[in-house]
Amino acid sequence: MQPASQPTSSQAPADGGEPGSAAAKARRISDGAAAPVLPDCCNIGITLRILLPLNLAGGLLALAMGTGWADLGRRLLEIGAVLEPVALVSLVALCGMRKTVNGKPVRVQWLVGLAVPAGLTLLVCLMIGRLLVPDLAPQAFAWWVAARCLIAVALAALTIEFFRLRALSLSPSLAEARLQALQARIRPHFLFNSLNTVLGLMRADPRRAESTLENLADLFRVFMRDTRALVPLDEEVVTCQQYLAIEQLRLGDRLRVKWDTDQMQGDALLPALLLQPLVENAVHHGIEPRSEPGEITIIVSRPGERVRVEILNPAEEQQPVRPGNQMALSNIRERLLLLYDMEAELKTSEENGQFRLLLELPYRKERRRRDVRRHFDPDR
Amino acid sequence: MSDAISILIVDDEPVARSRLRELLADLAPDFPHRIVGEAANAPEALSQIEAAQPQIVLLDVQMPGMTGIELARHISARSAASETPKPMPLVIFVTAFEEFAVEAFEVRAIDYLLKPVRAQRLLEALRRAVTRLPSDQIQAIDQLARATNTRRRHLSVHERGRVILVPLEQVIYLKAELKYITVRTREREYLIEESLTALEDEFVDRFVRIHRNALVARPAIAGFERVTPTGEDDAGDPYWQVVLRDIPERLPVSRRQWSTVKNLVG
């Protein structure tokens, strides 16, 4: 780690435990999308863990409703006669449907997980209900059936959610691995192109080659940092400027950059490497595919308790030449979701040949100023 | 001068071009050559190839407007069709992208260099290039274009020393005439030197063959019309004509193609 950035652990107290909770949130959101929603009903351990609490709950319910030993038996029978067949058949059915359901969208998985027990409850109640409660009026019987279906849905939902959270708590490394993969995806092109630029400058302009290598070293130090670490905004802006200085050498006149940071709140904290990939994206899609010069405008401001970053670049005329990089934007969107949940916003629009990206984050202040390079001098 | 190999450098980045120039200068004692030009984009490159006839082209893969692979297709398509063998420049690709379909380059008839390029590796590539046969390379470039799913989006027209790129979506029909192919757009006609069969293979999604000598863009077809020739000696059977969307001209459909063509309009 570079001296400027402190170990992650020391940042947690500085920010009142933010990164920790963000990571916990991250886990939930990221993995929920990929992992199956329903528990593995074919797994005997899991089925036992489902049946046991259900029966316990049924028993306790009977106890609560009953008024004596004799009554308790009757209540147990009434509950068990519905609960047992529904629970068992649901498990078998869901085990059988497992393969087909798991790949489906989350909504569909939930729907199946809730509909199977509910449907079976309806079926069982209609079949044996009259035997259990022979003297109910038709309306009361309907009520009796509906209540049981509703309870079946509620219990199924609780069970599914319990197992989902349990699976997530057991795989904490998953989200981290995902974050790492997200940040690693864009680098190799940039590294080799930059090295090529440095080699090209080496003889004609050794000084510039030198400063480019320094920029490159700084950038890769940042690239290798844990992206859940929070950094002050002005540090991230320096990273972007160093990145742009390298691209400027490579692209020459084709790249023009305009910064507007007058309204910037430099001490605002944000996850490391949040802006740089957005700027990189602007260069890849707005400048690189064009033969003519283009301008990237970056406006950083602070409306109220928010941090706003606006990036404008010329819109791409034809389909992207490098398919891998369309991912960049969705990667960043996913990262924002992982780290901020609903608090952050990333919007893009296109009009009059301009691609406009708007990023808004909650403004969180840096508690401890650190000794970092916050100003970038391109001629240094 | 005469036995020095002529080289053209094509890269959109000025620094990358100067790097190649430096490396080539270093290699001059081992590999006598002269640099006949530099180009920053595809149209420039095509004009320079036409004007300077380089023997070797160092070609960047990632360029704005048109990728190096697409550009190579233009070069090879042109050489493949001409009857008088045009000197086909030998292409060496230069790329920073290792994942860029490296397996597609496995065909030894074309070579590629990874950026940053090493002098030694460049020398090997140059030496190997001069031993290659242009015909092998034409095939290899076609294979490469297929493997990377690169289709040309333009046709390159050479006109009085200039290169014009005609966007494919503007082309209404292609018609073979003697040794040239007429490219018809709404505004005008161009002549290119390519083979109609190769064009049909390459753009099979867009063009349909209506006659031994003509391909028509599917979107340009407005309909068909049956014509009965009324000649002096009541010549010929009735035949079908293609009615085109943007130009009044009609094109005859050959009897042989009619069975496939008629399916286009239910």
Q: Which region among A109-123, A180-194, B148-162 has the lowest average model confidence (pLDDT)? A: A180-194
Give yes or no for residue B165 having a pLDDT over 70.
Answer: yes
Question: Quick check: A288 contacting B, CB < 8 Å?
Answer: yes
- Architecture of the domain spanning B171-264: Beta Barrel (2.40)
Nearest CA in chain A to B21: A200
- pLDDT classification of A200: cutoffs 50, 70, 90: very high
CB atoms within 10 A of CB A267: 16
Half-sphere exposure at residue A77, Cβ-oriented, CA atoms within 13 angstroms: 11
Bridge partners of B176, per DSSP, are: B181
User: What whole-number distance in Å separates Cα of residue B242 and Cα of residue B220?
Assistant: 10
Give yes or no for residue B236 having a pLDDT over 90.
Answer: no
Give the pLDDT score at A5.
38
Q: B214 CB contacts (<8 Å, ≥6 apart)?
A: B173, B174, B175, B176, B251
Query: Which phi and psi (to 5°) does residue B56 adopt?
Result: -130, 135
The answer to whether the CB of B134 falls within 8 A of the CB of B88 is yes
Give the pLDDT score at A180.
61
Q: Which residues from chain A sit within 8 angstroms of residue B116, using beta carbons?
A: 192, 195-196, 199
Q: Which residues from chain A sit within 8 angstroms of residue B113, using beta carbons?
A: none
Contact call for A290 and B64, based on CB within 8 A: yes
A146 vs A139, A338, B204, CA distance in Å?
11, 39, 61
Q: Which residues from chain B sit within 8 angstroms of residue A289, using beta carbons?
A: 64-65
The answer to whether the CB of B141 falls within 8 A of the CB of B91 is yes
User: What tokens does A263 get?
Assistant: 């309204």
Question: Quick check: B150 contacting A, CB < 8 Å?
Answer: no
User: What tokens does A166 get?
Assistant: 């349990």
Q: What is the C-alpha radius of gyration for chain B, rounded to an integer number of angstroms?
A: 22
Give the pLDDT score at A100.
86
Question: Quick check: B19 contacting A, CB < 8 Å?
Answer: yes
Q: A377 CB contacts (<8 Å, ≥6 apart)?
A: none
Q: Which residues from chain A sit within 8 angstroms of residue B62, using beta carbons?
A: 288, 321-322
For residue A227, which of A22, A14, A3, A34 has the smallest C-alpha distance?
A22
Most confident among A88-102, A335-349, B29-43 (mean pLDDT): B29-43
Contact call for A196 and B15, based on CB within 8 A: yes
Residue range B7-29: mean pLDDT, rounded? 94
* pLDDT, greater one: A284 or A184: A284
Of B15, B98, B153, nearest to A201 by CB-CB distance is B15
For residue A339, which of A194, A228, A222 has the smallest C-alpha distance?
A228
Contact call for B115 and A196, based on CB within 8 A: yes
User: What whole-number distance in Å separates Cα of residue A254 and Cα of residue A287?
Assistant: 7
Tokens 């496939």, residue located? B260
Contact call for B96 and A193, based on CB within 8 A: yes
The answer to whether the CB of B169 falls within 8 A of the CB of B152 is no
pLDDT in tens, A7-45: 333 333 333 333 334 433 333 333 334 567 888 888 888
Nearest CA in chain B to A194: B116
Q: Which residues from chain A sit within 8 angstroms of residue B67, using beta carbons?
A: 321
Contact call for A188 and B98, based on CB within 8 A: yes
The answer to whether the CB of A268 falls within 8 A of the CB of A344 is no
A vs B: CB pairs below 8 A? 58
Give yes or no for residue A256 having a pLDDT over 70.
Answer: yes
Please give the share of chain A, as a percent, with pLDDT higher than 70. Answer: 77
User: What whole-number distance in Å separates Cα of residue A209 and Cα of residue B92?
Assistant: 27
Of B19, B98, B99, nearest to A196 by CB-CB distance is B19
Contact call for A252 and B62, based on CB within 8 A: no
Mean pLDDT in chain B? 85
User: What whole-number distance in Å separates Cα of residue B199 and Cα of residue B220?
Assistant: 17
Contact call for A196 and B65, based on CB within 8 A: no
Give the β-pairing of A354-362 and A345-351.
antiparallel
Give the pLDDT score at B235.
63
Question: Quick check: A201 contacting B, CB < 8 Å?
Answer: yes
Of A192, A201, A291, nearest to B41 by CB-CB distance is A291
Residue A284 DSSP one-character state: I
Q: Give the gap in angstroms from C-alpha A294 to the nearest C-alpha of chain B.
A: 12
Half-sphere exposure at residue B206, Cβ-oriented, CA atoms within 13 angstroms: 17
Contact call for B64 and A289, based on CB within 8 A: yes
User: What whole-number distance in Å separates Cα of residue B152 and Cα of residue B158?
Assistant: 16
ipTM of this complex prediction, to 2 decimal places: 0.74
Q: Which residues from chain B sit within 8 angstroms of residue A188, using beta carbons?
A: 98
Q: Which residues from chain A sit within 8 angstroms of residue B18, using beta carbons?
A: 200, 204
Of B19, B64, B99, nearest to A288 by CB-CB distance is B64
Q: Across chain B, which distance is largest between two alpha carbons, in Å?
A: 76
Q: Which residues from chain B sit within 8 angstroms of residue A251, using beta carbons?
A: 13
Sheet holding B189-192, edge to edge: B189-192, B180-184, B173-177, B214-217, B207-211
Give the pLDDT score at A319.
52
Give the pLDDT score at B170.
93
Q: Give the gap in angstroms from C-alpha A313 to the nearest C-alpha of chain B.
A: 16
Q: A96 CB contacts (<8 Å, ≥6 apart)?
A: none
Contact call for A318 and B153, based on CB within 8 A: yes
DSSP string, B113-174: EESSPPHHHHHHHHHHHHTS-HHHHHHHHHHHHHHTT---SEEEEEETTEEEEEEGGG--EE
User: What whole-number distance in Å separates Cα of residue A218 and Cα of residue A238?
Assistant: 10
Question: Quick check: A318 contacting B, CB < 8 Å?
Answer: yes
Domains of chain A (ranges plus CATH)?
8-14+177-362 (3.30.565.10), 35-171 (no CATH)
For residue B94, which of B39, B133, B146, B159 has the smallest C-alpha distance?
B39
Give yes or no for residue B143 having a pLDDT over 90.
Answer: no
Give the β-pairing of B250-253 and B239-244.
antiparallel
Give the pLDDT score at A7.
38
Q: Give the gap in angstroms from C-alpha B90 to the nearest C-alpha of chain A.
A: 23
Q: A122 CB contacts (<8 Å, ≥6 apart)?
A: A145, A149
Contact call for A291 and B12, based on CB within 8 A: yes
What are the start-end ranges of the H helices in chain A? Answer: 8-14, 18-34, 44-65, 69-102, 106-132, 138-170, 173-184, 187-202, 206-223, 233-251, 275-282, 327-340
CATH number given to B5-147? 3.40.50.2300
Q: Which of B10, B15, B67, B151 to mutate to test the interface with A (most CBs of A within 10 A)?
A: B15
User: What tokens does A56 get?
Assistant: 């316990």
The answer to whether the CB of B241 falls within 8 A of the CB of B250 is yes
- pLDDT classification of B242: cutoffs 50, 70, 90: very high
Q: Give the gap in angstroms from C-alpha A333 to the nearest C-alpha of chain B.
A: 25
pLDDT in tens, B204-235: 889 999 999 999 999 999 988 888 877 665 56
User: What whole-number distance in Å separates Cα of residue A194 and Cα of residue A248?
Assistant: 10
- pLDDT classification of A151: cutoffs 50, 70, 90: very high
User: What tokens does B130 get?
Assistant: 């001069």
Q: Which region among A77-81, A223-227, A368-372, B6-10 has the lowest average model confidence (pLDDT)? A: A368-372
DSSP string, B187-255: S-EEEE---HHHHHHHTTTTEEEEETTEEEEGGGEEEEEEE----TT--S--EEEEEESSSS-EEEEPH
Give the pLDDT score at A297.
97
Q: Give the gap in angstroms from C-alpha A201 to the nearest C-alpha of chain B.
A: 7
Half-sphere exposure at residue A41, Cβ-oriented, CA atoms within 13 angstroms: 24
Bridge partners of B183, per DSSP, are: B174, B190
Give the pLDDT score at A354.
92
- pLDDT classification of A377: cutoffs 50, 70, 90: low
User: What whole-number distance in Å separates Cα of residue B157 and Cα of residue B159?
Assistant: 6
Contact call for A291 and B116, based on CB within 8 A: no
pLDDT in tens, A54-63: 999 999 988 8
Residue range B150-162: mean pLDDT, rounded? 84
Give the pLDDT score at A260.
94
Question: Quick check: B12 contacting A, CB < 8 Å?
Answer: yes
For residue A273, which of A344, A184, A343, A193 has the smallest C-alpha distance?
A184
Give the start-to-end residue ranges of the domains of chain B: 5-147, 171-264
B13: left (phi over 0), alpha (psi -120 to 50) or beta: beta
Give the pLDDT score at A28.
36
Q: Which residues from chain B sit within 8 angstroms of residue A252, using beta carbons?
A: 13-15
Mean pLDDT in chain A? 80
Nearest CA in chain B to A209: B15
Question: Quick check: A335 contacting B, CB < 8 Å?
Answer: no
- pLDDT classification of B64: cutoffs 50, 70, 90: confident
Q: Which residues from chain A sit within 8 angstroms of residue B98, using beta carbons?
A: 188, 192
